[in-house]
Amino acid sequence: MGHDVDRFAEPAAQARRSMVRRIVAGGGLTDPAWRAAFEEVPRHLFVPYFFTARAGTYERLWCEDPDPERRARWLRGAYADEPLATRLRDGDLVSSSSRPSLMALMLEALEVADGDRVLEIGAGTGYNAALLAHRLGDAAVTTVDLDPEITESARVHLAAAGHRPTVVTGDGARGCPERAPFDRIIATCTLASVPSAWPAQCNDGARIVAPLSTGIIALRVGHGAGGRTAEGRFLHASAYFVPLRGGAVPEETPAGGLPRRAIENDLFRFLLSLSAGSLDAREALSLWEREHRPERNRFGVTVSGEHQWAWLDDPEGPYVWPLGSPGV
């Protein structure tokens, strides 16, 4: 945004305060340190343009539009509690800025403490890394993305906002061994399973928060008889992210022939995706109905060395199934 940054400063600050009030009213940002980060980090610097769906195609809104009404729409959009499409390739979404209230939920679930070293998988616009850097300091934050255009753009945005965490171009499925060990890992892309490199690059007691299936898993890292472990439950919220490039793509289980009440139910679709390759659709439906349509937070994941499995209620209970290949 260059020399035009200052002309947006005051309206952006007002919009930012309004955004934070909405998130707080919805029950988010209970930690004062995270509330301060969202109040002070200027999201509009990270989304100088974005795309909105309009009449079956995408409309580009940007900060330098000569039309003042379109510039005003851009600024309102930058502080709306909505995900923003920031990069398209051949009509497909390859990068976005997540809904701020969902970002707040995931960051608070990370349970950071002063001195923690954090690895972010999926640099995106750089906004999430800036929030982490505001909370923990630039030196504590590493963000990784496979796409060099995305990492370069994130560096520029971060610098404009006054932050310089470590930005690495690389395969997020491999973590970032040269910057390990980490106390926290947060991913902003959907996984089919947890890459084994992530727990391996963590200190004992570390926490991993990542989208998996259509939910968000929060894992605690430990050390068991078989080596490095990670275990935890899903948060209550739903989540839809761009898949991790370099990792396995979440499978889709065919749902043909099932009742409409199941096919259109978000919780059933979550179970169907989570159990893909292990339960067929009718087995998943039987489980879902028998267990009274369980919410996401009744499900969890256990990672032990090269093996990992999902479960309902209890990692050693009757409802357990393997997840897909953990990758490298």
169 residue type, one letter:
T
Amino acid at the residue 109: A
* DSSP 8-class letter at 250: P
Closest CA to 116 of 96, 98, 142: 142
Cβ atoms of 216 and 239 within 8 Å: the answer is: yes
- Which are the contacts of 268, defined by CB distance < 8 A and separation ≥ 6? 262, 284, 285, 288, 293
Angle of helix 9-25 versus helix 68-78 axis, rounded to 10: 40
CA distance 137 to 114: 9
> Residue 103: which of 84, 76, 75 has the closest Cα?
84
Distance separating alpha carbons of residues 55 and 165, to the nearest angstrom? 39
Distance CA 58, CA 61 (A): 10
d(CA 124, CA 86): 8
**Exposure pattern of 49-79 as b/e (b: 16+ CB <10 Å)?**
ebbeeeeeeeeebebeeeeeeebeebbebbb
Angle between helices 281-290 and 266-274 (to 10 degrees): 130
Q: Choose among 20, 11, 23, 24: nearest CA to 38.
A: 20
Q: Which residues are catalytic?
A: 95
